[in-house]
Amino acid sequence: MTARRQALLLLVPAALTLFVLFVLPQALMFEASLGRRSAYGGIVHEWSFANYARALEPLYLGIFARSVGLAALTTGLCLALAWPVAWWIAFRVPQRHKSALLVLLVLPFWTSFLVRMYAWIVLLRTEGVVNAVGVAFGLPAFDLLYNDLAVLIGQVYGELPFMALPLYASMEKLDRRLLEAAADLGASPLRRLREIALPLTLPGIAAGAVLVFIPSLGAYLAPDLLGGAKGVYVGNLVQSQFAVARDAPFGAALSFVLALLVFVAVAAARRPLAAARGL
Amino acid sequence: MNRRGSGLGLFALLVYLFLYAPILVLAALSFNESRSSALWEGFTFAWYLKLLQNAQVMQALRTSLIVAFVSTVFSTVLGTAAALAFHRHRFRRGAAIEALFALPIVVPEIVIASSMVLLFAALSLRLGLLTVVLAHVAFSISYVVVVVRARLAGFDRTLEEAAMDLGAGPWRTLWTVTLPLCAPAILAGALLAFALSIDDYVITSFVAGVGSTTLPLQIYSMVRSGVSPEINAVSTLLLLATSLLLLAAHLLERGKPARLCAAPAGLGLALLAGPFLIGGPAAAAGEKVLNLYIWSNYIAPETLAKFEARHGVKVNVDLYDSNEALLAKLQAGNANYDVVCPSNYAVAILARQELLHPLDLTALPNLAHVDPAFLDRPHDPGNRLSIPYFWGTTGIAYRKSRTGPIDSWAALWEPRFKGRILMLDDARETLGIALLLSRDGHGVNETDERALRQAKELLLVQKPLVRTYNSADFDQVLLAGDVWLAQGWSGQFARAMDEDPDIEYVVPKEGSSFFLDSLAIPRGAPNPALGHAFLDFVMEPEIAAEICMTMRYSTPNRAARALLPAAIRDHPAIFPPPDVMNRVELLEDVGDATVLYDRLWTEVKSAR
Amino acid sequence: MRGAIRLVGVGKSFGGTEAVREVSLDVAPGEFVTLLGPSGCGKTTLLRLLAGFETPDAGQVLISGRDVAGLPPHRRPVNTVFQHYALFPHQDVAGNVAFGLRMQKRPAAEIRDKVARALDLVQLAGYEARRVDELSGGQKQRVALARALVLEPEVLLLDEPLAALDAKLRAQMQVELKNLQERLQMTFVFVTHDRDEALIMSDRVAVMNAGRVEQEGAPDALYDRPRTRFVADFLGVRNLLHVRVLRIDEGLAQLEAGRLRFAARDDGGYRAGAETWVGVRPERVRLLAEGASEAGAEDGVVEDEIYLGDRTDWVVRAAGHALVVAESARGAQPRGRGERVRLLLPPEAVLRLADGDGV
Ligand SMILES: Nc1ncnc2c1ncn2[C@@H]1O[C@H](COP(=O)(O)OP(=O)(O)O)[C@@H](O)[C@H]1O
Ligand SMILES: [Mg+2]
């Protein structure tokens, strides 16, 4: 009985904080999303689903689709880059170097995201570092900046550690003897990857995918700064409703549709997670 | 085996290079003698010295560190406690509680940010340090919980049972066994919370208020002049400090003697404490404070220092990038600023909502120096609520060696400049010039839907030629050579022209828009008398001239203009000739058409 | 009553599994009682009920005559030596041993003194400042023991404390632990799945099966007279036969298992015509040469030989059953596989068993 009471006492402060600062505002948001923009940008509290109807117009659906696409691409690329690195750290690197390499993975994140994005601009711009190196090797200068590729680079850059760390955590738990046993039973390296390594790191992959996919859905700085604002993503759209059009009710409705998308994504990630636990 | 191993290692090396390339660039640029990031001009420590003298950046750094420190302490304590609770007990409503703790991780930042603003307004909580810290605590807790729980998952429960068996109660067990054993995880959680806090821009920008401009907010508002080497310097220092702290933690974990860890830890902490030692306390107790909320790059620190010296007060500056941000803060009714700087149409909106404090004109004798052309305008008849501060035009700046002379907006539709054109990322400005080009006599304040749709079509036609939409550092993009023609505002271009004589500015013959930014005192300002003093101060001819000299926007102050050197007084971008003034139109609020403007602009931007 | 334990109808289940069912057990002060049973039979759970880590669903737990219901672990006058020792990795040897004393806020001098004596007791004097992960298995075991003993508990609970040790160290520790217990006159509740360990060390053994105590008693009594099929099997009665009672005469029950016929001493439990289980002790069966004409002997063929050093087990097929016969090394004669022998089952070798396998 004391254990339960103690657990409750420990839980309540954090749970209360989150309830007040996350759940209540969402309720306010929902109420606002049913309202209408006033002439001065305030909220007229009415109850209608007009904003949701508007959010489902083809223009905005297209923007949602584009965001999902960006998030999916970001997640895929992060996985492709982070998996081998995590594997390398988990299995190829001497024990004493591991934690240093992990720290190095997250260290860049102690500088402002904005500053890092500007550093990418310096790297990618027409007369930037990458082109300077290319030109030195006799290549022509490319327009690397202000396109979808630059947005993708920025997003992947920003989210990579959130993929790498859960992957590493799941690999760390992987029993090396299972791989040896598979090899002993005649599995080629590729088969070992497919039959053992990937299925057993599935929880890490799912966790990383969730951690990368979700923030990418709401991305708005990379599209603005690296993409030259030539494509609108949900993040930009929501931001501009609050900060430019002063149409908070519509912004709120968009936020809710976005949150819904996120829950669908998380639910989708639950299956492989649950399946992996069942192994 | 070996070959495969080294292939993997090479791949990992490339990924690390990818991660560190931007970091190396910014560290290198912090030692670059040139202000521009476009070229390397030699090694210097000057930016680090300038950083120490940049009161605003130092203040923002202090604010960031305070916010990060306080929110890290709270979120680590709360998060660790919650993680322990999960570890100790299987709760009956487990799924609901798990979902609650997953919220901050799965809800997109922008949604969190906008909903928190609604909450703080509903609670009529004054936006400021408190709200920023609350928000930061809230979004970091879950990350701490995740990290500590991961550690506890592998925890040998019999250790706790052994402690209880040996007579330790539940709390003693927690304190003497569980906590010390998950100390590394708690530290990791705290570091993560710190990193999240110090880097957050999106949420902070929504919930910040008086005196809570954090470093990312400061940086974002400084990008109007490009990321300056000072920002690179402060980022480099911050990175160095955290690297040292992490190194110390790493050594400690590897069981190295404390003596060895003390050096990096001490050095790192000293670097973090530096801003507090150098800058001194923000405001002594009892000292009067003027809270100023103004556009970034609109007033120089030296000018503010003069006002502080003269009145024995401290000026607190917070920055914004759009009238809408200002309106949102004032409409929420919990901002507490003494002086703000709305554009003309924002003044009109604020006036109608009675959010401005009526001015006592007898306290503003220097108003006499202002050009009557800028007084008594429709947005504020009789200047009962605001005084003009700066004005400027929208025009095209171009690299003349590449483009030849330009005199028409049509140049921005010329295929030969494909990929070399920059447009403002602003519905009113872009649709505005499209309206001017339509030659049906539409002005920049058109609200007719058909006319606006036609204007949109014109922008769609233009889109394939546009390199980027940008209304923040458009001058820098032009300077860096990424584009040859840029639509933008006069003041920033005037500064660009100083740096590069190849750049020319024109207000095209079809006409254009101009803006008039005013200073006003919000209703409910803590110190309206000091606000009046500040308004009168900036209208002193010498001061107004100094402000114009440093910021390069046009001053409406006639007496000040006379004091300016000829180069400035007759600068085509700063003080355009009368014929130009006849073809520019003031941007007004378009009321409900704002939504239409936004929608059309969204259509343009999301078109392929 | 100090150090006495009484369990009355104690039960505990986890979800669907009944880990402990209706266990009643009395332990006298200063007694060394062993809970013996295969893995998963509920030994650890029973121990944790005593220590207070679990609360019983049913029944009563009394320690030193006091009902301990609702008393949390740290208030109970018992201490535990954990299965995998559970030494605190962030504290050295002295820190581990002193832990409980510090919880009691004893003066530093007293703590130092007691820790030294406790370490002395387990022959680890001078190891105070060692990190626990630098200790061998046996040393860890001793630290765990010292850590529990230093608090002078009324009852010491030991959960398979020797399971992780090698055979030699284990035999040595069995003796040491037993001596220690006798010297301290402390109640020990000892858990093991090892029959020999239980028989060597204990004053009394409780054999557990599927959450129940199937039989308890002094080691020799238990060994001589297992009462259920399960207990007999667990104590090494290898030949278990399902038999029909043909008739009872002159104090002997005549039994039949398939074609095999033999007699058992009638203990009053046999009923003519009924079926029951019996066990036949391998070491009491006699092997005779082929052609020996002892009354009641059966013909058999040697199928297998299991050499065990001090004895040899023969597997002999007789009348359709494979029976194990043990011969001590001294009496054994060389026999080859397929050799014909005769087999004699004396009535004293046959034990009547209840069908208590719990399934
Ligand atoms: N905390 C628990 N949750 C669920 N089942 C448990 C738990 N502890 C023990 N059991 C189950 O109870 C039974 C008895 O376990 P235990 O007392 O550990 O056995 P022993 O120590 O004899 O090997 C086993 O079937 C085990 O799976
Ligand atoms: Mg056990």
Q: CB of B474 within 8 A of CB of B492?
A: yes
Instruction: State the pLDDT at residue B2.
Output: 43
Q: Is B69 helix (H, G, I), strand (E, B) or coil?
A: helix
Tokens 């080629």 locate to: A188
Based on the number of CB atoms within 10 Å of its own CB, is C232 exposed (0-12), middle (13-18) or buried (19 or more)? buried
Measure the CA–CA gap between A244 and A41, rounded to whole angstroms.
Answer: 10
Average confidence (pLDDT) over B406-420:
94
Instruction: State the pLDDT at residue A279.
Output: 39
Which residue among A15, A23, A92 sits closest to B9, beta carbon to beta carbon?
A92
Average confidence (pLDDT) over C113-127:
93
Q: What is the DSSP letter of B32?
A: B
Does one domain contain both B206 and B76? yes
Cβ separation B595–A2 shorter than 8 A: no
Q: What is the 3-state secondary structure (H, E, C) of A99-141?
A: HHHHHHHHHHHHCCHHHHHHHHHHHHCCCCHHHHHHHHCCCCC
Q: What is the DSSP letter of B128?
A: B
- Ligand 2 center–CA C39 separation, angstroms: 6
Instruction: State the pLDDT at residue B1.
Output: 40
Task: Please compute, for residue C263, the number of CA atoms within 13 A of its CA located in the half-sphere on the CB side.
Answer: 15
pLDDT at B5 over 60: no
This prediction's pTM: 0.78
- Ligand 2 center–CA C161 separation, angstroms: 10
Q: Residue B411 — pLDDT band, cuts 50, 70, 90?
A: very high
Answer yes or no: is B198 within a domain: yes
Does one domain contain both B111 and B148? yes
**pLDDT, tens digit (0-9, with 9 covering 90-100), for B13-36:** 999 999 999 998 888 888 888 776
CA angle B578, B580, B586 (to 5 degrees): 105
- Ligand 1 center–CA C13 separation, angstroms: 9
Answer yes or no: is B203 within a domain: yes
Identify the chains in contact with C, defined as 3+ C-beta pairs within 8 A. B
Average confidence (pLDDT) over B491-509:
91
Amino acid found at C335: R
* Residue of B290, B272, B328, B122 lying closest to B211 (CA atoms): B290
* Residue of B468, B585, B439 lying closest to B516 (CA atoms): B585
- Closest-CA residue of B relative to A110 is B195
CA distances from C26 to B582, C33, C41, C50, C216 (A): 108, 10, 19, 13, 10
Q: Which residues of C touch B90 (CB under 8 A)?
A: none
CATH number of the domain enclosing B493: 3.40.190.10
Helix (H) / strand (E) containing B601: helix B593-606
Q: Is B53 on the interface with C (CB under 8 A)?
A: no
Instruction: State the pLDDT at residue C222.
Output: 92
pLDDT at B467 over 90: yes
Does one domain contain both B253 and B269? yes
Answer yes or no: is B16 within a domain: no
**Domain count within chain B:** 4
Answer yes or no: is B23 within a domain: no
Does one domain contain both B306 and B412? no
pLDDT at B595 over 70: yes
Residue with CA closest to ligand 1 atom 6: C14
Give the lowest-confidence range in B61-70, B323-332, C152-161.
B323-332
Facing residues of C60 across strands?
C8
Measure the CA–CA gap between C259 and B387, rounded to whole angstroms.
Answer: 120
Answer yes or no: is B78 within a domain: yes
A-B C-beta contacts closer than 8 Å: 334
Does one domain contain both B508 and B523? no
Answer yes or no: is B576 within a domain: no
Instruction: State the pLDDT at residue A138.
Output: 85
Residue with more model confidence, B54 or C116: C116
Q: Is B555 helix (H, G, I), strand (E, B) or coil?
A: coil
Average confidence (pLDDT) over B517-524:
94
**pLDDT, tens digit (0-9, with 9 covering 90-100), for B308-347:** 999 999 898 888 878 888 887 887 766 789 999 999 989 9
Q: Which protein residues touch ligand 1 with a CB less than 6 Å away?
A: C 14, 17, 19, 37, 39-45
Measure the CA–CA gap between C128 and C147, rounded to whole angstroms.
Answer: 12
Tokens 């209608």 locate to: A48
pLDDT at B464 over 90: yes
Residue with more model confidence, C36 or C299: C36
Q: What are the φ/ψ torsions at residue C209 (nearest 5 degrees)?
A: -145, 125
pLDDT at B285 over 60: no
Domain extent, residue B265, equals 228-276
Instruction: State the pLDDT at residue B117.
Output: 84
Average confidence (pLDDT) over B365-392:
92
Does one domain contain both B154 and B208? yes
Average confidence (pLDDT) over B263-273:
81
Q: Is B162 on the interface with C (CB under 8 A)?
A: yes
Which of B214, B244, B262 is the last residue before a domain boundary?
B214
Instruction: State the pLDDT at residue C356.
Output: 57
Measure the CA–CA gap between B238 and A111, rounded to whole angstroms.
Answer: 7
Tokens 């609520």 locate to: B385
**pLDDT, tens digit (0-9, with 9 covering 90-100), for C133-147:** 889 988 999 999 999
Q: Is B293 helix (H, G, I), strand (E, B) or coil?
A: strand
Does one domain contain both B168 and B133? yes
Measure the CA–CA gap between B8 and A88, rounded to whole angstroms.
Answer: 6
Each residue's pLDDT, cut to its tens digit, for chain A (279 residues) gives 467 788 888 999 999 999 999 889 989 889 989 998 887 777 888 888 999 999 999 999 999 999 999 999 999 999 999 999 999 998 888 887 888 888 888 888 777 788 888 889 888 888 788 888 888 888 888 888 888 999 999 999 999 988 998 899 888 877 776 776 666 665 667 777 777 788 778 888 988 888 899 889 888 888 988 988 888 899 889 888 887 788 889 988 998 888 888 888 777 777 666 655 443
Q: Residue B293 — pLDDT band, cuts 50, 70, 90?
A: very high
pLDDT at C358 over 50: no
Does one domain contain both B131 and B160? yes
- Ligand 1 center–CA C45 separation, angstroms: 6
Q: What is the 3-state secondary structure (H, E, C) of B202-236?
A: HHHHHHCCECCCCHHHHHHHHHHHCCCHHHHHHHH
The CATH number of the domain covering residues in A58-278: 1.10.3720.10
Does one domain contain both B396 and B361? no
Query: What's the gap in Å between the CA of B574 and the closest CA on chain A?
Result: 27
Query: What's the gap in Å between the CA of B123 and the closest CA on chain C?
Result: 44
Residues with CB under 5 A from ligand 2 (ion): C 44
Q: Which residues of C touch B158 (CB under 8 A)?
A: 82-84, 86
Q: Residue B369 — pLDDT band, cuts 50, 70, 90?
A: very high
In chain B, residues 463-492 whose CB comes closer than 8 Å to chain A:
463, 466-470, 480-482
Answer yes or no: is B470 within a domain: yes
Give the lowest-confidence range in A25-39, A187-201, B178-192, B479-493.
A187-201
Residue with CA closest to ligand 1 atom 18: C44
Could you identify the atom of ligand 1 that is nearest to the CA of residue C160? 21
* Residue of B299, B518, B478 lying closest to B390 (CA atoms): B518
Highest mean pLDDT among A243-247, B103-107, B123-127, C61-65: C61-65
Measure the CA–CA gap between B79 and B147, rounded to whole angstroms.
Answer: 9
Instruction: State the pLDDT at residue C160.
Output: 93
Instruction: State the pLDDT at residue C359.
Output: 34
Q: Residue B49 — pLDDT band, cuts 50, 70, 90?
A: confident
Average confidence (pLDDT) over B73-92:
89
Instruction: State the pLDDT at residue B327.
Output: 86
Cβ separation B166–C89 shorter than 8 A: no
Average confidence (pLDDT) over C275-281:
91
Does one domain contain both B431 and B495? yes
Measure the CA–CA gap between B505 and B487, rounded to whole angstroms.
Answer: 10
